[in-house]
Amino acid sequence: DIQLTQSPSFLSASIGDRVTITCRASQGISSFLAWYQQKPGKAPKLLIYSASTLQSGVPSRFSGSGSGTEFSLTISRLQPEDFGAYYCQQVNSYPITFGGGTKVEVK
């Protein structure tokens, strides 16, 4: 199985900060990586797919980059509504796997 390691597992940042979450795959997955945001008690929401393609309707302050084994999600200017958990997901091969998650707290 492909392991996805996210870091950090928790981060606290101020409004307007630039925030970056990384996701490392245990083997190459090309660009078959997606990012999701999840708020407490809610279903995950797709933010980014194919490592860097912004899902329709997602604010442009979110961006993704990377390929192979190293990926990142960046929020250019953190907003109050960006709190929650963020997960990366590899869809290169079965079983599909998720990273352990990053909880983002807005100061």
Partner 1 sequence: EVQLVESGGGLVQPGGSLRLSCATSGFTFSDPYMDWVRQAPGKGLEWVGRARNRANSYTTEYATSVKGRFTISRDDSRNSLYLQMNSLKTEDTAVYYCARGPYCTNGVCSQGRSFEFWGRGALVTVSS
What residue ranges bind partner 1 (CB under 8 A)?
1, 31-34, 36, 38, 42-46, 49-51, 53, 55, 85, 87, 89, 91, 94-101
Check if the beta carbon of residue 55 is closer than 8 Å to that of residue 7. Answer: no
Identify which of residues 15 and 91 has a Cβ nearer to partner 1 in the complex: 91
CB of 93 to partner 1, least distance (A): 10
Identify which of residues 2 and 13 has a Cβ nearer to partner 1 in the complex: 2
In angstroms, the CA 24 to CA 48 distance is 16
In angstroms, the CA 63 to CA 69 distance is 17
CB of 30 to partner 1, least distance (A): 10
Which single residue is written with the structure tokens 């490592």? Answer: 51
**Nearest C-alpha neighbor of 49 from the set 68, 30, 36:** 36
Identify which of residues 21 and 89 has a Cβ nearer to partner 1 in the complex: 89
